[in-house]
Chain A
């Protein structure tokens, strides 16, 4: 293992993050605060309790998941796409490192950034509501796994993307709808029967439900299924990345 290379990639990526630290830090704080003002106070006060907690508290896990997923994807996809775009990828390919080490560096950094944003939102939320976390270990595990798996997914998008439009395409067209329809702001038990059933095809439902369970002990789907879903998603991403590196797809002719 060339740990030095992993660390070099990781710190270079983190440096870029801290170069824009103010944006990275301020924007989730502001957007989370807005969500609480709008959904928690303005609208939420007219909504009765959901699954035994106030609406403002109910949306916290969904909000965190929303930001963590989009941040992990955008950071990881940009992280590996940028060297492709500038041409500096040549250096990664000609260095004595293997693909696993490259993934570890880029995905590790993207997951760290997403985790950081998730924790910032959690801290911001605690100013607005009285947070309770029923299963802290499960909460941390879910958060870490989500950061990791979506960073892996972002890495795949970054390798695949041939231009900046494609880089935005999947997050915008696929992920945002899946997250919003995945119960980030409501429980799928509120939906008509047919939509409930359809929702079960949305993988994000399992992640948000499991994460919310770790806060409030209530879930839309069994927690075992949620764990299976996130493990399956991580596994699928790893398989695809393994194939990418074996075949040199879009990296090495």
Chain B
């Protein structure tokens, strides 16, 4: 069931910049969606509209069935936001900052819940420190703790690991996995492909305010694990010989090249058999070349293609 439904959401900023060009997207309860895109793609604007920081210019969005504008109280009650920039009152103690967040959401003070969150995020020992005394990574965790203080069902993480070192990034991924285990739906933005790969269930690619693709990570990974073997022939052929029909070969370069697609993760690639059959079919090979399509290729291809279309 979709907990976040976004329908043709648009945002045009004062001055005419169109940050969102009609985004439509559904996010299922309990899933982790990574929004991947370059800087200025509209990731933060999308999150900001959904969380109430920015007013939408057109379209609708619902969270848990509540419209984000008409029923903003009910919608926001379900949502926690971890912003991209670290923003904390410097003189406030960690525990007070987290309690403050819970209070803003209209909930009674619950020390047991706060303690659980702070322990989960390894902040319990620092609970009486002022936020300005914490390291950057700790501050980011305080932001997560604040976002979780009112027990949200949907958590937005805007670039949670931007400018964070490798170890902290792994910590963050573990935290996200833990939250997912607790049943929290997570939408995170990132421009690190490996991050999307490591923790997301689904990956959306966004650029220039448009959602270019949303796909299961495993499907994307499958595309990524497929490889191409390009076989250049000494003499061009009119069609794929009968004997090779079982390999699903494609013809390219006016019959001078045969293209064989195979799965690197499969039990066998079938290359040995193919080469043997090629020889027995009497075809002479000039060259062999293999290509791998990575998520990076897909991503770069998508974002540059569309950019060229727009230009």
Contacts and interface: CB of A to CB of B under 8 A. Distances in A.
Interface stretch (B74-82, B162-170, B255-263): B74-82
A181 interface: no
Contacts of B92: 12
A96 B72 CA distance: 7
Interface in B256-272: none
Sorting the interface of chain B by its residue count into under 10, 10 to 19, 20 to 34 or 35 or more gives 20 to 34
A6 to B, nearest CB: 9
Nearest to B108: A4
Nearest to B87: A87
Contact of B77 (A82, A96, A253): A96
A93 B47 CA distance: 13
B106 A88 contact: no
B88 A12 contact: no
Contact of A87 (B14, B85, B103): B85
A91 interface: yes
Nearest to A7: B103
Contact of B87 (A4, A8, A88): A88
Contact of A94 (B81, B91, B103): B81
Contacts of A253: 13-14, 54-55
B91 A19 contact: yes
Given A3-B106, A7-B103, A94-B79, 16 more contacts: A4-B104, A5-B104, A8-B100, A16-B91, A87-B86, A87-B87, A88-B88, A90-B51, A91-B87, A93-B53, A94-B76, A95-B76, A95-B105, A96-B76, A96-B106, A253-B13
Interface in B143-184: 146
Interface in B60-96: 72-74, 76-77, 79, 81, 83, 85-92, 96
**Interface of chain B: mostly helix, strand, loop or mixed:** loop
B83 A87 contact: yes
Contact of B51 (A4, A8, A83, A94): A94
Most chain A CB atoms below 10 A, which of B88, B89, B104: B104
When A and B form their complex, which 10 residue pairs have the shortest distance between CB atoms, in order from nearest? A87-B87, A8-B103, A96-B73, A95-B104, A96-B76, A94-B51, A4-B106, A2-B106, A88-B87, A5-B104
Interface of A: 2-5, 7-9, 12, 15-16, 19, 82-83, 86-97, 248, 252-253
B58 to A, nearest CB: 15
B294 interface: no
Contact of B100 (A12, A94, A248): A12
B76 A86 contact: no
A252 B92 CA distance: 25
Interface string B40-62: 00000000000111110000000
A5 B146 CA distance: 14
A11 to B, nearest CB: 8
A24 to B, nearest CB: 15
Nearest to A88: B87
B129 interface: no
30 contacts: A2-B106, A4-B107, A4-B108, A5-B103, A5-B106, A8-B100, A9-B104, A16-B91, A82-B89, A86-B89, A87-B83, A87-B85, A87-B87, A88-B87, A88-B89, A89-B87, A90-B83, A91-B101, A91-B146, A92-B104, A93-B53, A94-B51, A94-B52, A94-B53, A94-B76, A95-B104, A96-B72, A96-B77, A253-B13, A253-B54
Contacts of B74: 96
A92 B52 CA distance: 10
A52 to B, nearest CB: 49
A175 B79 CA distance: 42
A92 B51 CA distance: 11
Contacts of A88: 87-89
Contacts of A252: 53-55
B175 to A, nearest CB: 20
Nearest to B99: A8
Contacts of B87: 86-91
A90 B104 contact: no
A152 B79 CA distance: 30
Most chain A CB atoms below 10 A, which of B51, B74, B103: B103
Given A88-B89, A253-B14, A93 B52 contact: yes
A252 B51 CA distance: 12
A130 to B, nearest CB: 42
A90 B91 contact: no
Nearest to B11: A253
Contacts of A19: 91
Interface string B182-221: 0000000000000000000000000000000000000000
